[in-house]
Structure 1
Amino acid sequence: MRFKRGQSVEIALKEEGFQGSYYAGIVLTRLQDNDYIVEYKTLVNDEETRLLRDVINGVDIRPVPPEIKVSSFGLCEKADAYDNDGWWSGTVTGRKGVMYNVYFEGCREEIAYPLFRLRLHQEWKGGKWVVGDSEMV
């Protein structure tokens, strides 16, 4: 997929400790070989003077997923939790009151989140958003 200048996207970070996370960004320009210069919306440079910019290969970029309103999550349901300025993919392992426990395989941690910090997990496959076994445009 080709992304356009100014398009809001999510960028997969593949560095150790960041697997399974996506960070909001905007495409600044397209380079050769399917590379893009992106500017993150929540991450800053080492000096903390401006938003972080980076060259990212297109395979690590996806459009922003459509918002799907959910009123609750079930046990073993895949969810993304907003934490540390990005979205992290995990599995709901329980609920206590208004808090949902989410287990993250990559770091083997379980953390509790309120519903407003969770979203239904979606995968970008073949140019379509996939939730479970159903596809969306």
Structure 2
Amino acid sequence: MTTYTHLRAAGTSLLLATGETLPRVLHWGADLGEVSESAAAEIERASVLPTVSGTADLPFTLGVLPEQSAGWLATPGVTGHRAGTDFSTAFVQTAAHATEGATTRACRSRARSSSRRPTSPRASR
């Protein structure tokens, strides 16, 4: 389920879409005025890039931190792995709190459950 957060100050709007993935910026610029849930959903729908030949089958959603695990094929925002089981990071949002004057987001890395422990390169020598 997607939740929309609209922050406004000094003639500027920041509209965020949050859900299971990292937050996505839908608009950052001139003040949009009051934005209803349905209007925010239409802004999100309009921001989805069409799929073209030679790309992934599904369009990716670019979060505030580009991740290859989410379909971003260019340089990622941060490099890492998930306990040695996957090639890239994959953060999920665990909480979102918006109060007057502040917004807090909590995220954690998705990790596949594994019964084996990852080995370091030095351990195999």
TM over 0.5: no
Q: Relative to total residues, which structure has the larger helix share, 1 or 2?
A: 2
State the TM-score, normalizing by the size of structure 2: 0.30
State the TM-score, normalizing by the size of structure 1: 0.29
Which is greater in Rg? 2
